[in-house]
Chains A and B, each alone.
Chain A
Amino acid sequence: MSFAARQQQAEAAWQTFEQPDRLRILVGSATCGRAAGSLEVMQAFADELAKHGLTEAADMVEVGCLGMCYAEVMVEIRGRDGKRVLYQGVEPRHAAALIETQLVRGEVYLPLALAVMTGVDEAVPTFAELPMIKPQVRIVLRNCGIIDPTNIDHYLARGGYQGMTRAFAMGPDQVIEEMKASGLRGRGGAGFPTGVKWGFARNSVADQKYVICNADEGDPGAFMDRSVLEGDPHAVLEGLLIAGYAIGASIGYVYCRAEYPLAIERLQGAITQMHELGFLGGDILGSGFGFEIKIKKGAGAFVCGEETSLMQSIEGKRGMPLSKPPFPAVSGLFGKPTNINNVETLAAVSAIMEKGAAWYAGYGTEKSRGTKTFALAGKISRTGLIEVPMGISLRTIINEIGGGVLDGKQFKAVQTGGPSGGCIPAQFIDLAVDYERLAEVGSIMGSGGMIVIDEESCMVDMARYFLSFTENESCGKCVPCRMGTQHLLRMLTTITEGRGTLEQLDIMRKIGDAMKNASLCGLGQTAANPVLTTLQYFEDEYRAHIVDKKCPAGACRALIRFDIDPARCTGCGACLRACPVAAISGEKKQPHAIDQELCIQCGSCRQACKFAAVLVD
């Protein structure tokens, strides 16, 4: 069957799926949806449909993630009138009311309704107008939460694999020019221009070349790649195929974290479908280009996000980095020319090839084109996965999209780039987010983790946290990283315990500087960033720990104590029940007290208290 005929068939399948008068229930079931209980919700819906005799009349489909993680489990229901309503925070116990209200009576179930997906409703806002959604531009996430990720027809009907056929029509050199014109830069963190990178690998002459999709998303607090792989695997695989075509590689690898079993399952399913349609194998669609994709599961090593380490790992070795040159484009996997791109980059590639470089370059800033996904988490009201045009301000991201800091607390900083990045203080809230601006303030774009920090988080403790991570993940090959992370961690630990000295602040700056200049790979070169940026912007917090032996944020346990204010305590007993070590005593309706001998400073009582009666000092 020709591509055009196959596409028509897919269109027909999509039309049936989108047929307005057919009952349909979409359940967001990426990993976070499942963790929130989406599979139990689906079961409850199935039971209710059966009760009403609607099992045959309604489609129920697991879709990927709309990115509104705070509102999981999310369910979209389309009734007989064609109205599509998105519900949030759905639990199995809600299934009966939802089905009864919308599918039987044809009304919107207002207690859980978040938005209508299309059109306008009197009582419920339109999806595209929601404050979390309105500033977003979804290119990489174009299909997530909208299509059934296990159905290639849905991807095809929404323009999928047209980028591939357009690439075949253009020829490899023109594809590389198109990438250069789009201005796309590597979304794994470093931001190297994708088209230029492809050009290097294309120019290497060899009997065998490889392309690799780096899906070893190791930054703690980042889950963009997982969501794309789970919600729209074909977007990434099509991008990988186009990369292979452009550089002349016949084999592609997807190196995916083993911690992402659902993503791996979706990838495997998608690869099988590509084979069935002749999008993999020899001579794809008569183009003369042959391509195969293999999946390699990572085994839990952060350093394997670094390209040379990753290739060592695929070869079955310890994932330790190699010195460059030679660069992978000359000598990479198995000593052959290799091109590595990140998941998000490849998902953008398939969109750019479908819609054209000029369209993509129309978004973003002069040197940072297009969009960037971020995993917005930490102390923020609306946690989620977002995609915004480059150049958007931090203020828009945090206040509009994220809905501001959790519980109305004071915004203190935002951490970008994970363990390789830095903390951007509140004074830069109007900063435009692109590669250059983030670097100017000492942080990096990174892969897209964005953790919001409020007044209750201690910046010294944040630095210590990231260093404990990099110290643990340092592969130990080069001295600056191996010893540097150990020394930084030791000093940060003494400071958080109130045993630090002012002299250590200068020593840490010097060590950090040496690590930046002398480490072998990106892990070591950037590992000191969390320390250096917090020292730059929050030195007074370090000094408070050292000189006053106080943690201003009330987070470092060795330096704080909790007490109950008898004037505010109502004796409700919530703290007593929350205390894991039975350190709280008191009669009902009488002020309670904390036994300091038993208290472990866990803060559970403070969290549990509704009257702000637990004081921290």
Chain B
Amino acid sequence: MGISRKNLYILIMLFCMSGYSWLVMHLDSRWANLVGPVCVFKKATGIPCPSCGATRSMIALINGDFLSAISWNPIGLLLLGGLVIFPFWLLHDLALKKNSFHVFYASVEKTLMKKHVAWPLILLVLLNWCWNIYKGV
């Protein structure tokens, strides 16, 4: 038993809104310099966290520089993909009063619980993290 449909949709909408405002803020370098790096993990330990560099990756992708987007952090591609797709999916669900996104979320959660799916993904995140530390993002 997971999160309710209403809560999930509110959460995703909040997520998308804050994601877009974060991105718009960082498109202007003056703002970006004002905020600076915010990663608590990096500030506390001095080493980058698994998702450090995701913002720079997304900005690079928006500017059309695919290769540097990947070299900053591949997670940025995932996040931007989510930011582009999820709002339309949610609007479609809300307009037609369906719950396809909720069903999708629940099935993804269930799949990820399986060991043969979870372990490769954990390994992938760890490898990406090692790469992040090596690059010194």
Physical interaction between A and B:
no
